[in-house]
A and B are shown apart, each in its own frame.
Chain A
Amino acid sequence: MDETVLGEKKYRGEFIKPGRHYLEGSEACVEGALLAGMKVYAGYPITPASEIMEHASRRLPQFGGRFIQMEDEISAACTLIGASWAGAKAMTATSSPGFSLMQEAISFSIMTETPLVIVDVQRPGPGQGYITTSQEDVMQARYGHHGEGPIIALAPSSVQDMFELTIEAFNLSEKWRTPVLIMAEETVAHMREQLIVPELDTIEIIGRKKPQGLGITPENYLPYGHELVPPMANFGEGYNINHVSLAHHADGNVGNYSLKAHRENIERLHQKIEGSVNEIARVESQFLGDCDHVLICYGSVARTGLEAVKEVRELHGIKMGFIRLVTLWPFPEEILRNLISTVKTVFVPEMNLGMMKHPIAEALRDKCDQVISIPEIGALHNPEKLVDKVLEVSTC
């Protein structure tokens, strides 16, 4: 595990043991975060994400970490920024209305290249909407923050995912010096199922690259320079790092403004994430060998999706392939295109009125005859809904 700034005291907190467990998604998320090295959690109560915060409040101090319930979601997100700057891995969890409040902080984190993890346990909107499940924030994840700033967003489908993807989220945030979103839903946060924890020393934990590690002295340090992913000094290390979110030069200077320097700043941010999509993004697939159609889904809908795909294959003889987007953003366009040669119909079931359908349709525009959205608001699709749609479309 990487160093913490919290000193040498001995704490009695123990990581979740290797083996078989039975946990709620919310708990699995926190256990993954602790293993990843989370030391600060700042949150605000909101249904259906409060369980993550409550679990963190109990566990964090066992490891000498610090938990705080802030006065609103805005300050919760901002607390993560300060914690990260001072060297701690930090996380919060919220739901859709709180996610809206955090967008300015997310934009700021992108521009200042601040590692942090935000879990959005999505619920329907707009407004208060309801307290059940949804995938209505998946576009907001990419475009909700102002400005052209790329981001990484993951979509967990199970309790195992809530554990593994949380660790992955921390690793990605540290490796790419960026905020990372976990786009969960009420379904997967409240679901209880088996969790298999591997031997702890087989779990890779990544910490941010430091200038000290690259032999860069404070005098020569460029907070936004040196490499595509700039090494990051923490507060208190004598590197005199200036975090700024006006368009800046590599040394953190916001003076000597030029369009050229401004554009270089933004282009590097994009190159860092969007340009690295094939390294960052993950997609899972089954039955693509000789499929006529393919079903593409993410999050809990992948549970229904796989059930439906197996049913249409086994009971109706339809050659349906299955793709699950583990990473929503950066959008894995090339990875998707490489998985599919040509199909007749692409089905995209989502717990919204059709959002990821758009980048999917664009990515596969020349690889399929049509893209059909299967929307559902407020609840997880049942397999009948998907099977009926597939039968309807494939028999005409």
Chain B
Amino acid sequence: MKKDNRFEIRIAGFGGQGVVTIGKVLGSAFTIYEGLNSVNTRSYGPESRGGACRSEVVVSQGEIHYPSVRKADVLVALSQTALDKYMKDLKEDGILLVDPNSVKDVPKGFVYFKVPAMEIAHSVGNVKFQNSVVLGALAAILESMIKKESLKLAVSENVPPNTIEKNIEAFEAGWARIVTAKLAVAE
């Protein structure tokens, strides 16, 4: 993946899934640890939980003008609604990552990654850690763009200090899931 052009990541789901945190941590990792420019924006409904939620990260070596996704290189869909809404904005050769427990219907023939974030987080100890699971998965998927260590550092700086250990555990579990899984092909 080229780092000098714009690279656009969109994460979408429901409020409470950590969508905003995922974007924040990604942006932080790119900007502070990889020395790139990044812009992270978010949008959501007024509800604290349950409303639609979207976070975007645009990365570039150069100056970033338009701060939002035009055609995403990566789409992380944590709900079916999110996938249905944002699939059309994903590049044809873009990367799709879903939580298969929430997202069942993926367009035919599209190659994508799966990480059951909520399930893994639950097994680590709390569904709240699902954003770290997703980040671990992204670390594996975007390995050529961003060092695993950068993301791990960014995670530990953006979670409550007494939860760092568990969040890193969740991160590693998400990483492991991608590294060992095969790409799924929709029937």
Do A and B touch, yes or no (CB under 8 Å, in the complex)? yes
- Point out residues on A near B: beta carbons under 8 Å: 20-22, 47, 131-132, 187, 190-194, 300, 303-304, 306-308, 310, 380, 382-384
On whether A191 and B40 interact (CB within 8 A), knowing A20-B31, A22-B27, A131-B46, the answer reads: yes
- List residues of chain A with CB within 8 A of the CB of B24: 192
* B65-A303 in contact (CB<8A): yes
* A194-B37 in contact (CB<8A): yes
A191 to B, closest residue via Cβ: B41
- List residues of chain B with CB within 8 A of the CB of A132: 43
- List residues of chain A with CB within 8 A of the CB of B39: 191-193
B29 to A, closest residue via Cβ: A22
On whether A193 and B37 interact (CB within 8 A), knowing A22-B27, A22-B28, A22-B32, the answer reads: yes
Q: Which of B27, B32, B46, B70 contacts A383 (CB 8 A)?
A: B70
Q: Does B131 contact A (CB under 8 A)?
A: no
For the complex, give the distance between the alpha carbons of A192 and B158 in Å: 14
For the complex, give the distance between the alpha carbons of A20 and B30 in Å: 12
On whether A380 and B65 interact (CB within 8 A), knowing A22-B32, A192-B24, the answer reads: no
* B32-A304 in contact (CB<8A): no
B44 to A, closest residue via Cβ: A131
Minimal beta-carbon separation of A346 from chain B (angstroms): 20
Minimal beta-carbon separation of A211 from chain B (angstroms): 46
In this complex, which of B39, B64, B66 has the most chain A Cβ atoms within 10 angstroms of its Cβ? B66
- List residues of chain B with CB within 8 A of the CB of A21: 32
- List residues of chain B with CB within 8 A of the CB of A307: 65-66
* A303-B67 in contact (CB<8A): yes
In this complex, which of A192, A310, A384 has the most chain B Cβ atoms within 10 angstroms of its Cβ? A192
For the complex, give the distance between the alpha carbons of A87 and B28 in Å: 38
B31 to A, closest residue via Cβ: A22
The DSSP consensus for interface residues of chain A is mixed
* A193-B65 in contact (CB<8A): no
* A382-B67 in contact (CB<8A): no
A300 to B, closest residue via Cβ: B67
* A193-B38 in contact (CB<8A): yes
Q: Does B68 contact A (CB under 8 A)?
A: yes
Q: Does B128 contact A (CB under 8 A)?
A: no
For the complex, give the distance between the alpha carbons of A303 and B67 in Å: 7
* B31-A193 in contact (CB<8A): yes
For the complex, give the distance between the alpha carbons of A241 and B64 in Å: 50
Q: Does B42 contact A (CB under 8 A)?
A: yes
Q: Which B41-58 residues sit within 8 Å CB-CB of chain A? A: 41-43, 46
* B28-A306 in contact (CB<8A): no
Minimal beta-carbon separation of B119 from chain A (angstroms): 29
- List residues of chain A with CB within 8 A of the CB of B28: 22, 192
- List residues of chain B with CB within 8 A of the CB of A194: 31, 37-38
- List residues of chain B with CB within 8 A of the CB of A383: 66, 70
A-B pairs with lowest CB-CB distance, top 8: A307-B66, A307-B65, A192-B40, A22-B31, A193-B39, A306-B65, A194-B31, A22-B28
Q: Which of A131, A187, A304, A382 contacts B41 (CB 8 A)?
A: A187
* A310-B42 in contact (CB<8A): no
* B38-A190 in contact (CB<8A): no
* A190-B42 in contact (CB<8A): yes
- List residues of chain B with CB within 8 A of the CB of A310: 65
For the complex, give the distance between the alpha carbons of A361 and B151 in Å: 49
- List residues of chain A with CB within 8 A of the CB of B64: 193, 303
* B70-A191 in contact (CB<8A): no
Q: 9 other contacts beyond A20-B32, A193-B31, A303-B66, with CB at 8 A cut-off?
A: A21-B32, A190-B41, A191-B39, A192-B27, A193-B40, A194-B37, A300-B67, A304-B65, A307-B66
- List residues of chain B with CB within 8 A of the CB of A20: 31-32, 35
On whether A382 and B65 interact (CB within 8 A), knowing A22-B27, A190-B41, the answer reads: no
* A380-B68 in contact (CB<8A): yes
- List residues of chain B with CB within 8 A of the CB of A384: 70
Minimal beta-carbon separation of B22 from chain A (angstroms): 12
In this complex, which of B27, B41, B42, B64 has the most chain A Cβ atoms within 10 angstroms of its Cβ? B41
A131 to B, closest residue via Cβ: B46
- List residues of chain B with CB within 8 A of the CB of A192: 23-24, 27-28, 39-41
- List residues of chain A with CB within 8 A of the CB of B31: 20, 22, 193-194
For the complex, give the distance between the alpha carbons of A306 and B28 in Å: 24
For the complex, give the distance between the alpha carbons of A132 and B45 in Å: 9
22 pairs, CB–CB < 8 Å, chain A vs chain B = A20-B31, A20-B32, A22-B27, A22-B32, A47-B46, A191-B39, A192-B23, A192-B27, A192-B28, A193-B27, A193-B31, A193-B39, A193-B64, A300-B67, A303-B64, A303-B65, A304-B65, A304-B66, A308-B66, A380-B67, A380-B68, A383-B70
For the complex, give the distance between the alpha carbons of A303 and B58 in Å: 13
Minimal beta-carbon separation of A16 from chain B (angstroms): 14
- List residues of chain A with CB within 8 A of the CB of B70: 382-384
For the complex, give the distance between the alpha carbons of A382 and B66 in Å: 8
For the complex, give the distance between the alpha carbons of A304 and B58 in Å: 13
A384 to B, closest residue via Cβ: B70
Minimal beta-carbon separation of A388 from chain B (angstroms): 13
B66 to A, closest residue via Cβ: A307
* B68-A382 in contact (CB<8A): yes
For the complex, give the distance between the alpha carbons of A191 and B56 in Å: 10
